[in-house]
């Protein structure tokens, strides 16, 4: 029985994979939090991987506090870059399949067309820079891995944009939401299923792939979609990002082209409204 290690098991994606794993009893699943697999401590990490001896690693762990990364640069680099290199090296040495999750933040947001895997990267914040460094380091030591870039991840688990907006739509009479950052959200359960589909595929085809739900929207339009489902009466208006400054710059355009992952692995990519409805059905 193949053993699948999921890092970052208490995060949004790891939590959704734990639910999905119940449908795949042919595998032995190991769900590791930051104490079981310490991406922030490279000395511990190597020994932990040796003890677990997985056949497949799904690296869902990351330093994702985008604004805090601007000041916690060293920790962000260890988790998003150096630890990924350790995982890729271990996978190479032990013949282990590795799927690593990356981000749309490796791009600078200046494109006006959907971003392909070969589009030039140019991160504009520390988080994006450390994630890109992790991609490059991993590929340099192990070309036989799968990297999936995703965007605007949300889930029924953890803290995320959808949950925050659900709360604010109920608490406030008016709400201003950024309308000049364009992309597409990703329901973590859909991304988790895509990862499992890749594991189950007849052929392992390494490389970088994009995955998010279908649709091209702004954060403002995303909130309108949430409101349409919840029926809250809050008055929502679009505002420019210049009125909502953050420590870390955000790419203005990060819509991902998903044609490669669909063509190579036959992965399903649901429309964002359908996935949003599914997520909002759950009460956690």
- Listing DSSP states for 252-270 in one string gives SB-PBP-HHHHHHH-----
What pLDDT does 184 receive? 98
In the chain, % of residues over pLDDT 70: 99
pLDDT band at 231 (very low <50, low <70, confident <90, very high): very high
Q: Regarding the domain delimited by 3-160+185-215+253-270, which CATH topology (the fold level of the hierarchy) does it fall under?
A: Rossmann fold (3.40.50)
pLDDT in tens, 47-67: 999 999 999 999 999 999 999
Mean pLDDT, residues 30-40? 95
Rounded CA gap, 165 and 176, in Å?
11
Q: Which residues of 69-100 are buried (b: 16+ CB within 10 A; e: fewer)?
A: bbebeebbbbbbbbbbbbbbbbbbeeebbbbb
- Contact between residue 23 and residue 92 where contact means Cβ atoms under 8 Å apart: no
Banded pLDDT at 283 (limits 50, 70, 90): low
What mean pLDDT comes out for the span 232-252? 94
Confidence bin at 284 (pLDDT 50/70/90): very low
- pLDDT tens readout for residues 140-199: 999 999 999 999 999 999 999 999 999 999 999 999 999 999 999 999 999 999 999 999
Residue corresponding to tokens 């504009």 = 124
Query: Which sign does the torsion angle of CA 192, 11, 177, 257 carry?
Result: negative
Report the alpha-carbon angle 246-251-257, nearest 5.
145
Percent share of the chain, pLDDT over 90: 98
127 is catalytic: yes
pLDDT confidence of residue 282: 79
pLDDT attached to residue 264: 98
The pLDDT, as a whole number, for residue 244 is 86
DSSP string of 106-149? GS-S--SSPBPTTSPP---SHHHHHHHHHHHHHHHH-SS-EEEE
Please, what is the average pLDDT of the chain?
Answer: 96
The one catalytic residue in 127, 187, 211, 220 is 127
What is the average per-residue pLDDT within 19-33? Answer: 97
What sections of 142-248 are H helices per DSSP?
161-171, 188-200, 219-230
């Amino acid at each position: 029985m193949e053993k699948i290690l999921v890092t970052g098991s208490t995060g949004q994606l790891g939590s959704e994979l734990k639910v999905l794993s119940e449908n795949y009893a042919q595998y032995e699943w190991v769900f590791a939090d930051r104490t079981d697999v310490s991406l922030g401590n490279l000395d511990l990490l190597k020994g932990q991987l040796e003890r677990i001896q997985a056949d497949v690693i799904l690296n869902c762990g990351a330093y994702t506090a985008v604004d805090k990364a601007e000041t916690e640069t060293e920790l962000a680099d260890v988790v998003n870059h150096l630890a990924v290199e350790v995982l890729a090296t271990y996978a190479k040495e032990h013949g282990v399949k590795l799927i690593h999750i990356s981000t749309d933040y490796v791009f600078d947001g200046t494109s006006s067309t959907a971003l392909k895997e070969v589009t030039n990267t140019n991160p504009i914040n520390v988080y994006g820079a450390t994630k890109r460094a992790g991609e490059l380091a991993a590929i340099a030591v192990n070309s036989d891995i799968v990297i999936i870039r995703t965007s605007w991840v949300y889930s029924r688990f953890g803290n995320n944009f959808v949950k925050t907006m659900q709360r604010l739509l109920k608490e406030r009479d008016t709400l201003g939401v950024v309308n000049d950052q364009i992309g597409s959200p990703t329901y973590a359960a859909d991304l988790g299923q895509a990862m499992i589909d890749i594991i189950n595929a007849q052929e392992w085809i390494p490389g970088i792939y994009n995955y998010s739900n279908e649709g091209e929207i702004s954060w403002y339009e995303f909130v309108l979609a949430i409101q349409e489902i919840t029926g809250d009466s809050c008055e929502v208006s679009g505002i420019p990002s210049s009125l909502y400054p953050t420590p870390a710059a955000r790419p203005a355009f990060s819509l991902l082209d998903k044609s490669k992952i669909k063509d190579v692995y036959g992965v399903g990519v649901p429309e964002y409204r359908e996935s949003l409805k599914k997520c909002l059905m759950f009460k956690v």
